Amino acid sequence: AHQLEAGVLPRALEGVQNGSGDALIKALYALSALIRGNLDGRLAFYGAGGVGTAVRFLQTHASNARLLRKALQLVESLAQDEIEGGAG
């Protein structure tokens, strides 16, 4: 949870909203790392409006296969963690 306390989640969400190129990919990776198997990370993601950010991202970048694949992996990770009901 140290990364959450350090404010990484808001910066990663901002990177997903406003980033481009490699910075955007890195922001997606950071988000994925913060929430995968991490209940506190998922709750912080939900509380920070992460779902809306993800939906807007998918709508905005639907034509970019690479970005779409990374974003869908993030969504898949969220769904899998919710199905499993645990924090890993």
The per-residue pLDDT for range 31-79, each reduced to its tens digit, is 988 888 888 999 999 999 999 998 898 888 889 898 888 888 888 888 8
| pLDDT for position 81 | 84
Name the pLDDT band for 80 (thresholds 50, 70, 90): confident
pLDDT band at 88 (very low <50, low <70, confident <90, very high): very low
DSSP 86: S
Whole-angstrom distance, CA of residue 1 vs CA of residue 26: 19
For residue 1, what pLDDT is reported? 56
Give the C-alpha separation, 25 to 23, whole Å.
5
d(CA 49, CA 26) in angstroms, rounded, equals 19
Which amino acid type is present at position 9?
A: L
